[in-house]
């Protein structure tokens, strides 16, 4: 079972790009490593999500030469709208998390 739902996947991808531009496999590895493999993100989910974020205007990508001398790679970066979306989605996540914590951590009186 893959716990990455569309909204959560968007948040994870935007967060992966917040510090620096990344190419596809780097994004995939970053998300999987930072989640200790919980998300188990695959290329089949990654690229359609990146295309959706590009279409939304939150991410842009351009081809750059490989730093290892191979084929060019498409490198993705956040746009200003993407940074705003990340801030908004982060706030939504905090609100949801707070509500769930209140329910899950409620002690019986």
pLDDT at 5: 59
pLDDT at 109: 46
Question: Taking the chain (109 residues) in consecutive chunks of 10 residues, what is each chunk's mean pLDDT?
Answer: 65 96 96 90 93 97 86 95 96 89 74
Q: What is the 3-state secondary structure (H, E, C) of the chain?
A: CCCCCHHHHHHHHHHHCCCCCEEHHHHHHHHHHHCCCCCCCCHHHHHHHHHHHHHHCCEEEEEECCCCCCCCEEEEEECHHHHHHHHHHHHHHHHHHHHHHHHHCCCCC
The pLDDT assigned to 10 comes to 92
CATH topology of domain 6-104: Arc Repressor Mutant, subunit A (1.10.10)
pLDDT value of residue 1: 38
- Nearest Cα neighbor of 89 from 6, 2, 22 is 6
Write down the domain spans for the chain. 6-104
3-state secondary structure of 22: strand
């Amino acid at each position: 079972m893959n716990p990455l739902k569309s909204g959560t996947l968007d948040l994870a991808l935007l967060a992966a790009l917040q510090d620096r531009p990344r190419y596809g496999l780097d994004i995939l590895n970053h998300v999987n490593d930072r989640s200790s493999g919980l998300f188990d993100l695959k290329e089949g989910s990654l690229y359609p999500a990146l295309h959706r974020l590009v279409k939304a205007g939150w991410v842009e990508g351009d081809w750059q030469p490989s730093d290892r001398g191979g084929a060019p790679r498409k490198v993705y970066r956040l746009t200003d709208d993407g940074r705003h979306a990340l801030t908004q989605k982060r706030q939504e996540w905090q609100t949801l998390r707070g509500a769930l914590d209140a329910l899950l951590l409620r002690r019986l009186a």
